[in-house]
Amino acid sequence: MAGGLILVVEDSEEDTEAIERALSRSHPEVALEFASGTEGVLARLLDPAAPRPGLVLLDLNMPGRDGHSLLADIRARGELADVTVVVFTSSTAPAEVEACYAAGADSYVYKPVNFDLFRTVLRGAVDYWQQQGGH
């Protein structure tokens, strides 16, 4: 995934801007695509005409269908098995973490409030999955 495309599924405009700011500094070679909710994301991932992201950064708490539903949909599709899904959310509840791993999340990363820590945590997650070759 060196360089590559990251699809960010995040409904918070503030968090979207923070992710864009953080990754544009630490990973300027990475292309970012944003979805403000879960609607249409599965179709986007399955679109043969669109470039397939190597990594999906997924927030859980969104209006309408939440990130849990999208994660289940992605993992139910064999053709998306090579897409890495990193849950990037503000919840630290152990049951939430366990549920995400059980549903097929590749990683669960807590979204810190402090921007410097936010940037460090995000950079670490992207670096790790880039080294894994996407999966």
Tens digits of per-residue pLDDT, 36-81? 999 999 999 999 999 999 999 999 988 888 999 999 999 999 999 9
Count of CA atoms in the C-beta half-sphere (13 A) of 56: 29
Which residue is listed with tokens 């700011």?
Answer: 21
Q: Taking Cα atoms as reference points, which of 121, 60, 119, 114 lies closest to residue 85?
A: 60
CA 70, 8, 42, 77 torsion-angle sign:
negative
Please report the pLDDT score of residue 64 as a whole number: 86
Q: What is the CA radius of gyration of the chain?
A: 14
Q: How far is CA 61 from the centre of its chain?
A: 13
Query: What does pTM read for this prediction?
Result: 0.91
pLDDT tens figures, 20-36: 999 999 999 999 999 99
Let me know if 116 is exposed, middle or buried by CB neighbors in 10 A (0-12, 13-18, 19+): exposed
d(CA 66, CA 27) in angstroms, rounded, equals 28
* CA neighbor of 86 nearest in space, from 7, 2, 4, 1: 7
What type of residue is 125? A
d(CA 113, CA 79): 35
